[in-house]
Every structure is written in structure tokens, then in C-alpha cells.
């Protein structure tokens, strides 16, 4: 039996797309919005606030990225002897289909192919994208929403706040390095500054959950999410009404599968 509050997974066709940097805009000292464009964006669509694509980066000095090898089940290892693609997950921040433009907000954290590519990106540079593979469609009819993000998940938090209807009961937390990383978002957000010793972990593990049927979405650094996951479970919140998703892991290169285990 379906209920009005059932979370649904919607699958999309997987098409690799080669795109070009159109514009680069700094949103703060550690975040850059890169607008990608090109005719290969035709037919691209997405649905949920946290929908994301895999971005394929060129090797340093190369003009073009190695694009993905696709099989029946999606992304596959390339044939033996072929160059390996370099890719990372990034959230779709804005799509303007009529202008054939897609915005992605990159954290400039100073290492890795993704962070380094974004720091040096110029109009005309090329990247590939693949996805989104699927959209987790969370009904906007829950009694309340608890949302949380670090910088890597700010694009998705911003989209949550834009998409939830007026009147939705929302508690939103965003952890950033400092005050100059704050962004103007569509709803009220409690900003947590690591420079003041604040964190998502401390804020959320101190919370009680409101009464009623709520949904929790929190994403950020994987290690700090574990105590949050334990806290939410200890409070008896149903597992199928929470997505607490590791977007990256300190000291680990390319957390390719989202870390959402125990
Ligand atoms: C579903 C999903 C959506 C995401 N959306 C976004 C997005 O919109 N914008 C975005 O910037 N990121 C996003 N991320 C996170 C991004 O994929 C990771 O941060 C990724 O590791 C970046 O790749 P890299 O090549 O820069 O670094 P990697 O090569 O993966 O890692 C190199 C080193 O950098 C460290 N590192 C990685 N990310 C960070 C960071 N943010 N801060 C400090 N150190 C870091 C690693 O621990 C490692 O030590 C998303 C992740 C997922 C799973």
C-alpha cells in the first residue's frame, strides 16, 4: 500500500555529455560557481534537490577528459589498457535548459582533481558529466524537515530550501569554515562556524526531534555524520525517513560510494 509520504526513487537515462566552461563566479573565498554549457546539455533533466552528476576531469595538461565507459548496468571499468577516467560527484545547482547552461558549485579545498580543476577553471575548459542516475523524491508533505549540510552539500541544501513549499516546518543547519563562507539561501539557516568550534555533529546531536512525522536530510564529511546517525536512531526516528549521506571523507580520496553505512 502506498502512503502520501512514501519516498520514491526515479531513474534517469544515463548519457555522457561533454561540456565547456562558460563562466566562473566566486561565491566566497572557498567556493566557486562554474557554469557549464554546450549543445550536449539538450535533453538533460533532474528532479530532486540533491540530484548530482559525476564530473569527468581532464588529466593535468590534457584538453579533454577521459569519458566514461557505459554498459547495461551503467558505469563500467574501461577495457584493459585504456586510460582511466577521473571523476567526482557534484550537485546540480541550477539548470537553464533554454540557455543550455548548468551551474555547479565547487568547494576550493586545495587538493584533488576536482578541487584543483575548479580552482584553475577558465571559459573554454572542457569536462564531462554523467547523470543524474536517479532522483530520490521526498514528498513535501512531512510535518517537519531537519536539514543539515557542510560546504559540499550547501548546493543541495540551497535547493531543498528553494523547493520546499512556503509554510513547511524546517530546521536547517549549515557548517562552514567561517562567516565569509555564508551564502544567502532561500530560507532561514543556522550557520555553524568551525572557527568558533561549532559543527553539524555538535548541533544535531544536541537536538530533540519535534513531534509528528518528519524527514531528515543531512550530508557532509562522513566521519562527523556517524554520531548524528546514531543519535537520530537512538531517538527512534524511522530509517526510511532519513538520508544522512557522507559526501567526502577526511584523508580519503574520492569517496565514490556515498558513505551512509553505520
Ligand atoms: C552526492 C554528492 C554530491 C556532492 N556535491 C558536491 C558539490 O556540489 N560541490 C562540492 O564541492 N563537492 C560535492 N561533493 C563532494 C565531492 O565529491 C568531494 O569533496 C570530492 O572528494 C572532491 O574531489 P577532489 O578531487 O576535489 O578531492 P579527492 O581527490 O576526492 O580528495 C583529495 C583530498 O581532499 C580531501 N577533500 C575532499 N573534499 C574535501 C573538502 N570539501 N574539504 C576539504 N578536504 C576535502 C580528501 O579527504 C582527500 O584527502 C559531493 C559528493 C557527493 C557524494
The answer for residues whose C-beta is within 8 angstroms of residue 233's C-beta and 6 or more apart is 239
Name the residue at shortest CA distance from atom 17 of ligand 1. 89
Task: Identify whether the C-beta of residue 24 lies closer than 8 Å to the C-beta of residue 34.
Answer: yes
Task: Identify whether the C-beta of residue 49 lies closer than 8 Å to the C-beta of residue 70.
Answer: no
The rounded distance, in Å, linking the Cα atoms of 193 and 165 is: 28
Q: Determine if ligand 1 sits within 6 Å of the CB of residue 107.
A: yes
Q: What percent of the chain has pLDDT over 70?
A: 96
Centre of ligand 1 to C-alpha 105, Å, is 11
- H-type alpha helices, the chain: 112-120, 154-163, 200-205, 222-234
Q: Determine if ligand 1 sits within 6 Å of the CB of residue 254.
A: yes
> ∠ at Cα 196 (89, 191), nearest 5°?
55
Domain segments of the chain: what residues? 9-134, 141-248
Q: How many Å from the N-terminal Cα to the C-terminal Cα in the chain?
A: 29
What's the whole-number mean pLDDT along residues 226-247?
A: 97
Task: Identify whether the C-beta of residue 132 lies closer than 8 Å to the C-beta of residue 12.
Answer: yes
Span 52-83, pLDDT tens digits: 999 999 998 899 999 998 888 778 888 899 99
Centre of ligand 1 to C-alpha 222, Å, is 11
Lowest mean per-residue pLDDT among 25-29, 39-43, 135-139, 250-254: 250-254
**Fold observed for domain 141-248:** Rossmann fold (3.40.50)
Q: What are phi and psi of 149, to 5 degrees?
A: -155, 150
Average pLDDT of the chain is: 94
What's the whole-number mean pLDDT along residues 92-115?
A: 97
Residue 2 pLDDT: 45
Q: What are phi and psi of 58, to 5 degrees?
A: -70, 150
Centre of ligand 1 to C-alpha 257, Å, is 12
Whether CATH 3.40.50.300 fits 9-134? no
Whole-Å CA distances, 178 to 165, 174, 209: 29, 11, 27
Q: Which of 80, 54, 81, 49 is nearest to 68 (CA)?
A: 54
pTM (two decimals): 0.96
The rounded distance, in Å, linking the Cα atoms of 227 and 46 is: 31
Residue 127 pLDDT: 98
- Count of CA atoms in the C-beta half-sphere (13 A) of 185: 26
Name the residue at shortest CA distance from atom 37 of ligand 1. 248
Burial class for 179, CB neighbours closer than 10 Å (0-12, 13-18, 19+): exposed
Amino acid at each position: 500500500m502506498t502512503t502520501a509520504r512514501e519516498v520514491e526513487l526515479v531513474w534517469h537515462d544515463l548519457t555522457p555529455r561533454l561540456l565547456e566552461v562558460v563562466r566562473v563566479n566566486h561565491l566566497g573565498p572557498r567556493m566557486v560557481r562554474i557554469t557549464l554549457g554546450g549543445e550536449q546539455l539538450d535533453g538533460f533533466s533532474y528532479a530532486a534537490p540533491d540530484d548530482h552528476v559525476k564530473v569527468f576531469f581532464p588529466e593535468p595538461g590534457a584538453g579533454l577528459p577521459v569519458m566514461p565507459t557505459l554498459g547495461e548496468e551503467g558505469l563500467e571499468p574501461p577495457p584493459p589498457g585504456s586510460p582511466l577516467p577521473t571523476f567526482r560527484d557534484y550537485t546540480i545547482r541550477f539548470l537553464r535548459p533554454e540557455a543550455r547552461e548548468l551551474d555547479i558549485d565547487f568547494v576550493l579545498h586545495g587538493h584533488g582533481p576536482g578541487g584543483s580543476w575548479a580552482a584553475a577553471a577558465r571559459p573554454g575548459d572542457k569536462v564531462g558529466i554523467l547523470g543524474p542516475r536517479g532522483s530520490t523524491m521526498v514528498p513535501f508533505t512531512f510535518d517537519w524537515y531537519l536539514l543539515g549540510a557542510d560546504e559540499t552539500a550547501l548546493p543541495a541544501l540551497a535547493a531543498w530550501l528553494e523547493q520546499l513549499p512556503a509554510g513547511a516546518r524546517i530546521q536547517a543547519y549549515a557548517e562552514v569554515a567561517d562567516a565569509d563562507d555564508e551564502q544567502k539561501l532561500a530560507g532561514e539557516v543556522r550557520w555553524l562556524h568551525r572557527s568558533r568550534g561549532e559543527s553539524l555533529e555538535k548541533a544535531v546531536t544536541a537536538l530533540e526531534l519535534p513531534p509528528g512525522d518528519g524527514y531528515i536530510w543531512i550530508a557532509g564529511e562522513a566521519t562527523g555524520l556517524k554520531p548524528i546517525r546514531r543519535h537520530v536512531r537512538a531517538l527512534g526516528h524511522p530509517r526510511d525517513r532519513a538520508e544522512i549521506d557522507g559526501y567526502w571523507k577526511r584523508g580519503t580520496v574520492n569517496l565514490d560510494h556515498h558513505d551512509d553505512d553505520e
